[in-house]
Structure 1
């Protein structure tokens, strides 16, 4: 799982036809949704991913922690309120900055 965030400061070519990272996420009610990873960021030596519902891109993003074990990366829900508040604030700042750039 790459921790690299692609932006205008990268020094390599971007293939804008790149493959989507699609995950099937099951919610508390047992409903499965296809989610697309749209952003990753780091906080306190942890990597987090923002996923959007593939079929409802207007819905709010969902943040997961990325954990690695035996060279495999997997998504973990954030249960700790303090951790959630911290990463949600970081994501809100990222989203605000992106919105300002695009307006």
Structure 2
């Protein structure tokens, strides 16, 4: 699992590489998710991907298929960011 603020490279369906900063890793309902920000783009829009395992047991990051699952993770991260903001 990547460390926070680590830069990772992901390969898309067209075999193009994209660099992302790992902003956070959080657990929601027993699954782990990575909150990523694109390195090259000027955007504050985070990408949320789910940790999964391949057939060899290696960690993978996959798209979240269900809108409801994505909403739960986005809400949990937003709540975490709000709490951290209140503590600063």
Where on the TM-score scale, by shorter chain, does this alignment land: which range? 0.7 to 0.9
**Compared with structure 1, are the counterparts of its residues 81 and 93 closer, same or farther at alpha carbon in structure 2 (3 Å cutoff)?**
same
Write the deviation string for residues 39-93 of structure 1: whole angstroms up to 9, x where unpaired. Answer: 1111121110101111246522111100123231010011201111111110110
Residue aligning to 2:44: 59
- List runs of 5+ in structure 2 lacking aligned partners: none
TM-score, length of structure 2 as denominator length: 0.76
Higher relative contact order by CA 8 Å / sep ≥ 6: 1 or 2?
Answer: 2
- Whether the 8 Å contact between 1:21 and 1:37 is mirrored in structure 2 is yes
- Whether the 8 Å contact between 1:50 and 1:64 is mirrored in structure 2 is yes
Cα distance in 1 between the residues matched to 2:41 and 2:53? 28
Residue aligning to 2:70: 84
Q: Following superposition of structure 1 onto structure 2, how do residues 21-36 of structure 1 map, counting pairs within 5 Å?
A: 21-26=7-12, 32-36=17-21
Q: 1:88 aligns to what SS in structure 2?
A: helix
Runs of at least 4 residues off by over 4 Å: 29-32
- List runs of 5+ in structure 1 lacking aligned partners: 7-18
Residue aligning to 2:34: 49
RMSD across aligned positions (CA): 2.9
